[in-house]
Amino acid sequence: MAELIRNLPQTAEQEKVAGPWKEAWRSFRKSKSAVAGAGIVIFFILVAIIGPMLAPQGINEQNLAIRLLPPSSEYWFGTDDLGRDVLSRILHGARLSLTVGISAVILSAFFGSLLGIIAGYYGRWIDTIISRVFDIMLAFPSILLAIAVVSILGPSLRNALIAIAIINIPNFGRLIRSRVLAIKEEEYIHAAKAIGMKNSRILWRHILPNSMTPIIVQGTLAIATAIIEAAALGFLGLGAEAPQPEWGKMLADARMFLLNAPWAMIFPGVAIMLTVIGFNLMGDGLRDALDPKMKN
């Protein structure tokens, strides 16, 4: 009995040291699909960072004498209709596609979370106005709203990034608003108000830290969606412009040669597919690890 009692404080201390983040990491590592997704994401991030330095050819080096060559030992992914190396363009395109996807999600997460926190915490007419704006934006299909925004701003990769950021703001806003509505009714929030803590301090010290979990999960999943949307805008000619090697633009340029040179479309399409799958698998793993409701 004495030995059992002596072991109790040590066990409690070990659990305290572990903490929720370490516990979430342990749960994340147990999911094979989540680890596989994280591996895919890390691989493409490394490709985006060092890929252009490893590219065998320049992205705009044209040689019409070798146009539409199939994959070979010299050109692993073949060449396109202008004689450019498809592998080199995909390596360079990884940086563009990931930059657009991650940057757009960071912008939408910042502004969406800010509006969601304000709407959920202050309520009343502020909540009504912000919520109705979110409802109006969500009433339109996201890709159509993105097309409308790019049509107003003009076709370019930067404007495509802005459009993707705008259409994803309501997703973050509504998610954080619902979280804030639950948190602000907690006893420690009422206690903070009772001792005279300012609203700005409450939002910064209590509301925001306790809302980070859904932001992280939604952000990871939103990157996958943003990459698809950027590729869709590029395919429609509303995103990256020639000769930028963005994956969606590469698909659009190669669609006329699908029967004669399918590799020019297959490899950029596979790159998009693998990247999206990686972020989705990792996002699902983070959701299962960070959401207490998903744990047994």
Q: What pLDDT, in 10s, does the model give residues 150-173?
A: 988 888 888 999 999 999 999 999
* Whether pLDDT at 20 is above 80: no
Assigned domain for 94 exists: yes
- Tell me the C-alpha distance between 43 and 210, whole Å: 31
| pLDDT at res. 107 | 94
Assigned domain for 9 exists: no
218's CB contacts (< 8 A; 6+ apart) are 109, 171, 172, 175
Q: What pLDDT, in 10s, does the model give residues 55-86?
A: 777 777 777 778 888 888 888 888 888 888 88
- Map tokens 């590592």 to a residue: 29
Assigned domain for 260 exists: yes
Q: What is the average pLDDT across 144-154?
A: 89
Q: What is the CATH number of the domain that holds 67?
A: 1.10.3720.10
In terms of Cβ atoms closer than 10 Å to its own Cβ (0-12, 13-18, 19+), residue 262 is middle
Assigned domain for 139 exists: yes
Is residue 79 helix, strand or coil?
strand
Q: What global pTM score does this model have? A: 0.82
Q: What pLDDT, in 10s, does the model give residues 250-282?
A: 888 888 888 888 888 889 999 999 999 999 998
Please, which residues bridge with residue 85 across strands? 79
Assigned domain for 77 exists: yes
- Tell me the C-alpha distance between 194 and 191, whole Å: 5
DSSP 66: G
Assigned domain for 196 exists: yes
Domain count, the chain: 1
Assigned domain for 175 exists: yes
Here the contacts of 4-11 (C-beta below 8 Å, separation 24 or greater) are: none
Is residue 196 helix, strand or coil?
coil
Assigned domain for 252 exists: yes
Containing structural domain, residue 62: 46-294
Tell me the pLDDT band of 293, cut-offs 50, 70 and 90: low
Choice between 69 and 231, residue whose per-residue pLDDT is larger: 231
Provide the token pair at 26: 């342990």
Q: Please check whether residue 272 is in contact with residue 228, taking contact to mean a CB–CB distance below 8 angstroms.
A: yes
